[in-house]
Amino acid sequence: MLNDDYTPMEFVVVVIQEYFGKDMEAATQIMLKIHLDGKGVCGVYSRDVASTKVDQVMEAAQRAGHPLQCVSEPVGF
């Protein structure tokens, strides 16, 4: 997930909880990493699952009127 200057931190936490199954504490830590580093990892999934989660997050952000961006990237081994 990528940081922006407009999406409320609370919304990001809720999205991480809802779509990535994290508890409040874990979701808050991920949100803070996104805020401080410009991006953060919400989870590692197969390509298909990751794509679906990106779509779900982008749709939720759009419905809420936020510019939040979520991307999937291959994991380097």
pTM of the shown model: 0.94
- Helix 9-20 vs helix 47-64: angle between axes, to the nearest 10 degrees? 140
pLDDT above 80: residue 76: no
Q: Which domains does the chain have, with CATH numbers?
A: 9-64 (3.30.1390.10)
Distance, first Cα to last Cα, the chain:
20
pLDDT in tens, 10-47: 999 999 999 999 999 999 999 999 999 999 999 999 99
- Strand, coil or helix: what is 39? strand
